[in-house]
């Protein structure tokens, strides 16, 4: 696989572009009646599902032995050596409001490790990709994290979970209380937010309640760009653990200390 991973990455990027084009065209035609609810503030449309089915078909043809772990569950997950971890439309809330950004997120896992990540923003036409250490790219050019050294004047993204449990609420309270010297942003696409840290546009991002398809590709791209990704305790359980702190590395400890201060 290692010799072919670059070639595979190029093909996956092409697939992401065609799914992104589909999303962009469909957004203009979207009606209120297309919107379904998974829960309060938690939307889905038939476009999420169609985009996912398109990805499953095309990625399945690239690597027939791979399984799929997808947000909309249009294909059943089976444990295999290779798994595509897919969010066909990351940023659905932006999408249904005619807003941006939104993205296509595709990670490839081999056993327990991600080996390829693609996040494509079709409106900005930004393709983030990585296949290993020091290979992170934006539109084919190398990227790396910011060198911002402290929370002072930090530019920090975050998200608000659809269902806010006590711990999630405490995290947000802690962040606002502790990080007064930062500028905060909510952009609404977790995958793009993590890649924004990877390319140095922002210094950090945190969110509780995220799922593997939100995090798989972006966290891999971030690490390949020199950044740090952990759960709220500083551990490795961010893919399935529903807790993510992504940063340029330099301010990671300060963020963790701020978030967990009164947990
Ligand atoms: P989605 O658009 O694919 O649902 C918004 O907060 C960002 O976080 C979006 O990228 C959204 O993905 C993602 N997200 C995933 N799980 C979430 C949750 N439980 N609550 C809020 N946002 C979630
Ligand atoms: Ca969703
Ligand atoms: Ca998502
Ligand atoms: Ca989604």
Domain ranges of the chain: 2-142, 155-260
- 147 CA to centre of ligand 2 in angstroms: 32
168 lines ligand 1 (CB under 6 A): no
Contact 123, 114 (CB under 8 A): no
DSSP code, position 219: H
CATH fold of 155-260 reads D-Maltodextrin-Binding Protein; domain 2 (3.40.190)
Q: Which two tokens stand for residue 159?
A: 């998200």
- Quote ipTM for the complex: 0.99
Rounded to the nearest 10°, the torsion over CA 97, 39, 231, 142 is -30
91 lines ligand 1 (CB under 6 A): yes
189 lines ligand 1 (CB under 6 A): yes
pLDDT in tens, 161-173: 999 899 899 999 9
pLDDT tens, N- to C-terminus, the chain (263 residues): 666 999 999 999 999 999 999 999 999 999 989 999 999 999 999 999 999 999 999 999 999 999 999 999 999 999 999 999 999 999 999 999 999 999 999 999 999 999 999 999 999 999 999 999 999 999 999 999 999 999 999 999 999 999 989 989 999 999 999 999 999 999 999 999 999 999 999 999 999 999 999 999 999 999 999 999 999 999 999 999 999 999 999 999 999 999 987 66
- Ligand 1 atom nearest to 90, measured from its CA: 3
DSSP code, position 182: S
Q: Which architecture characterizes domain 2-142 according to CATH?
A: 2-Layer Sandwich (3.30)
43 lines ligand 1 (CB under 6 A): no
User: From the centroid of its chain, how far is CA 71?
Assistant: 12
Can 2-142 and 155-260 be said to share one CATH topology? Answer: no
Strands 228-230, 183-185: parallel, antiparallel or unpaired by DSSP?
Answer: unpaired
């Amino acid at each position: 696989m290692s010799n072919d991973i670059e070639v595979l990455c190029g093909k996956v990027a092409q697939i992401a572009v065609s799914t992104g084009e589909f999303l962009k065209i469909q957004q203009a035609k979207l009606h209120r009646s297309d919107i379904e609810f998974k829960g309060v503030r938690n939307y889905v449309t038939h476009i999420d599902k169609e985009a996912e089915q398109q990805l499953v078909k095309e990625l399945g043809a690239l690597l027939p032995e791979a399984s799929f772990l997808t947000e909309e569950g249009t294909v059943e997950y089976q444990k295999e050596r290779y798994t595509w971890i897919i969010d066909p439309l990351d940023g659905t809330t932006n999408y249904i409001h005619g807003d941006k950004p939104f993205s296509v997120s595709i990670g490839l896992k081999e056993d327990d490790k991600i080996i390829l990540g693609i996040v494509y923003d079709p409106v900005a036409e930004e393709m983030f990709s990585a296949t290993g250490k020091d290979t992170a790219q934006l539109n084919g050019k190398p990227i790396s994290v910011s060198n911002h050294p402290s929370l002072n004047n930090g530019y920090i993204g975050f998200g608000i979970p659809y269902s806010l449990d006590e711990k999630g609420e405490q995290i947000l309270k802690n962040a606002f209380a502790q990080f007064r010297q930062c500028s905060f942003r909510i952009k609404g696409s977790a995958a793009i937010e993590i890649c924004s840290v990877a390319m140095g546009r922002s210094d950090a991002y945190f969110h509780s309640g995220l799922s593997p398809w939100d995090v798989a590709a972006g966290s891999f791209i971030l690490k390949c760009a020199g950044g740090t990704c952990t759960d709220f305790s500083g551990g490795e359980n961010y893919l399935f653990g529903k807790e993510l702190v992504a940063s340029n590395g330099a301010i990671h400890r300060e963020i963790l200390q701020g978030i967990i201060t009164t947990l």
